Chains A and B, each alone.
Chain A
Amino acid sequence: MRYLFLSLLMVLSLPLGSLAGYREEFEREFLSKPWAGEQVEEDACISCHVAEKMDPKFKNIPQSWKMSIHYQHNISCHHCHGGDPKDAEMSMSRARGFVGTPKYAEVPEFCGKCHVGILKNYLESGHGKALKSTGKGPNCVTCHGSHKDEQYIKKANIDIINERLCSKCHSYERAKIMKQALFLTEKKMGTLEESFKRLKAEGVYIEEEEKALFNIQAEFRTIFHTVDVSLVKERTDEFAKKLEPIEIKVKNTFHELWFRRNFSAFLMLLFAGMGLVVFVLSKPPRE
């Protein structure tokens, strides 16, 4: 009887494997219970934009946003476009701060709500002045893209300055000199970002250093939005110096990891050696 009971349990368990597709339903059911834990932020913007009846040209916006740098930093639709994502009916109400899509010439102010320093330098630049005077100069989206036409806003880096993009409006020569002036400091920042990734993978928490690098990067990038080559050349060393304490910290952290590995390897060998000695001494007593 006992064996019959156990055998039935085993036999019943195996064919249930055929229901492997059950995973998603399982997780959804547990997580979507009213108090199962997931405190989901109700988002009317996303639920409408992914709906069947949505105009196809707006349907990919949530997907593009999910791939963007904004998503990575928890910046949601309403942070830029206003409105109330928790109330579907009033989500696009002007009374709730909805601003919708900005006109071409309004894009810098739209992005500049958050990127304050960059807006200031951009407006003083040739790019900004051209947009203001003719309404046709490049705005933020020209170089950084948006969530339109299946693009997404990537993390900004020096490669945005390239012949293909700049040559759309003017020759690449001046931009090339600018890129060269930025190159060393940008490279240092890139190296630090790579190091952070490696340290994180090794279990080191480097939030403070990440924040410091983020601030230096943001400040540095405001300068080159002036498109003033001489100013960038003048100040690039200043930023390289600001990176030095972070570089030293990163170097020391790698050294610390090296020490940790060696120290635990030493302990491993120590206990292995002691075990070996005891093993040799622990032969059974003679008859």
Chain B
Amino acid sequence: MGVGKKIRDWFEVRIGLDDFARVQFNEFRVPRNSNVFHTLGLVTVVAYLIQVITGILLLVYYTPHPDFAFKSVQEIMNTVSFGWLFRQMHVVGSSLMVIVVFLHMVSVFFMGGYKKPREMTWVMGGLMFLITLLFCLSGYLLPWTQLSYWATTVVTSFPTAFPLVGDFVSRVLRGGEYVTGITLGRFFALHVSILPPLFLFLMALHIFFVKRTGLSTPPFGLSSEQQSPWTEYRRETHPDGHPFYPYFVKKEIFMGMLYLTVMFFFVTFFPTLFLPEETNTPADPFRTPSQIRPEWYFLAPYQMLKLIPNKFIGITLQIILVAVFLLWPFLDTKKEPNILKRPILKTVFFLSLILLAVLTFWGHYR
């Protein structure tokens, strides 16, 4: 008997591996009309894992202190064997992860996947998207460059728009009056020890909800099950659907490979896209750069804030928009899951996407 079989049998006796695999992979079925967007959840997991692995490798050499942070990052880029590769993967990966999570949410919204009984799944996903942005914000300061220092200065100034508590919130974020070593320490702790377990916890809950309710059926084309009112718990089993393994697993592996291909495409052909020349200049609190601009994923809210004369209204409006985004399943109680059959929602949806794109480009080319 081979070693592999022995190990397998050892686990089989103890945890019923065959039964687990049968239930989770063979009997778990996906809708017949499932599409490539259904795989974006797993691509997010792949993206997160890449960030964790490359992040741990960077952590080995990174020093979170204003006197050494910049130098340690330069050492990673220029001296550590393949340090450049891990940093590039981490930097490019952070932007790609924002895109993937965003696409996942947009596709779920478009396919009505947030509707009853999946409200909590949506909220968990929305919170994970916000945490992804927090990951980006906190990680951006860590190399302690001119760009990161001043972008953080501007972002941590936003709460000051709020009367009474604004200054206090800003001070808490910075750990004082200015962006200093204390801010770096706080952002570092947030980036490596607070956000990752929080994200993992939400991810576990999200997957738990998905497994308990089954994958949602897209409201277009084929429909595997008659939609009856959701008065008690039941799982969408998709008896006429495709088995999760091997059909859907292969699809997900393909998307994982595509993700890595896109990542290395950027590393190969656009190595300075996310690491422009300014990222080679150490932070200088006495010299304000001519242009302070946040990373691309914050350009839309940044541009929006600039356009609204009253900053209190501007930030309050953004908080309301985030709240609407997170709690949308509870606001949208109409039963029709097909967005194409709801002209007003369809218009709002596409207009929002266009507005987001316009604000982002506007913020970039102002």
Contacts and interface: CB of A to CB of B under 8 A. Distances in A.
Interface of A: 2-3, 5-7, 9-10, 13-14, 16-17, 19-20, 22-23, 26-27, 29-31, 33-41, 74, 200-205, 260-261, 263-265, 267-268, 271-272, 274-275, 278-279, 281-282, 284-285
Given A3-B348, A6-B348, A264 B77 contact: no
A36 B261 contact: no
B257 A274 contact: yes
Contact of B247 (A22, A26, A260, A284): A284
B19 to A, nearest CB: 23
A101 B170 CA distance: 45
Contact of B153 (A2, A9, A19, A38): A38
B268 A9 contact: no
B42 interface: no
A271 B260 contact: yes
Contacts of B280: 200, 203-205
B247 A285 contact: yes
Contacts of A34: 177
A205 B78 contact: yes
Contacts of B84: 260
23 contacts: A5-B324, A19-B309, A20-B306, A26-B305, A27-B154, A29-B311, A33-B157, A35-B177, A37-B178, A200-B280, A202-B272, A203-B271, A203-B272, A203-B280, A264-B85, A264-B88, A264-B267, A268-B267, A268-B268, A275-B257, A278-B254, A282-B247, A285-B242
Interface in B308-362: 308-309, 311, 317, 320-321, 324, 331-332, 344-345, 348, 351-352, 355, 362
Given A203-B77, A261-B271, A284-B242, A31 B309 contact: no
Interface of B: 74, 77-78, 84-85, 88, 150, 153-154, 156-158, 160, 167, 170-171, 177-179, 242-243, 246-247, 250-251, 253-254, 257-258, 260-261, 264-265, 267-268, 271-272, 275, 277, 279-280, 285-288, 292, 304-309, 311, 317, 320-321, 324, 331-332, 344-345, 348, 351-352, 355, 362, 366
A279 B344 contact: no
B74 A205 contact: yes
A26 B271 contact: no
Nearest to B250: A282
B73 to A, nearest CB: 9
Contacts of A285: 242-243, 247
B262 to A, nearest CB: 9
Contacts of B271: 202-203, 260-261, 264
Contacts of B177: 34-35
Q: Which 6 A-B pairs have the closest CB atoms?
A: A275-B257, A37-B153, A282-B250, A268-B264, A35-B177, A271-B260
Contact of A264 (B78, B160, B264, B309): B264
Given A10-B352, A260-B271, A275-B257, A205 B77 contact: yes
Contacts of B257: 271-272, 274-275, 278
B288 A38 contact: yes
Q: Is the interface of A mostly helix, strand, loop or mixed?
A: helix
B288 A31 contact: yes
A39 B285 contact: yes
A265 B268 contact: yes
A271 B264 contact: yes
A279 B157 CA distance: 48
B179 A268 contact: no
A201 B366 contact: no
Given A3-B344, A16-B307, A9 B321 contact: yes
A10 B348 contact: yes
A267 B84 CA distance: 14
B85 A36 contact: no
A260 B81 CA distance: 11
Contacts of A281: 250
A285 B247 CA distance: 7
B268 A6 contact: no
A203 B247 contact: no
A200 B309 CA distance: 38
A24 to B, nearest CB: 10
Contacts of A14: 355
Contacts of A6: 324, 348
B366 A23 contact: yes
A236 B345 CA distance: 76
Nearest to B267: A264
Contacts of A39: 178, 285-286
B77 A36 contact: no
Contact of B264 (A5, A35, A205, A267): A267
Nearest to A7: B348
A33 B160 contact: yes
Nearest to B260: A271
A229 B316 CA distance: 72
Contact of B261 (A33, A200, A275, A284): A275
A205 B73 CA distance: 10
Contacts of A5: 324
Nearest to B288: A38
Contacts of A261: 268, 271
Nearest to A27: B292
Contacts of A278: 250, 253-254, 257
A180 B275 CA distance: 41
Given A203-B77, A272-B257, 17 more contacts: A9-B320, A10-B348, A13-B307, A35-B167, A37-B150, A41-B286, A201-B272, A205-B77, A205-B280, A264-B85, A264-B264, A265-B264, A267-B260, A271-B258, A282-B253, A284-B247, A285-B242
Contacts of B286: 39-41
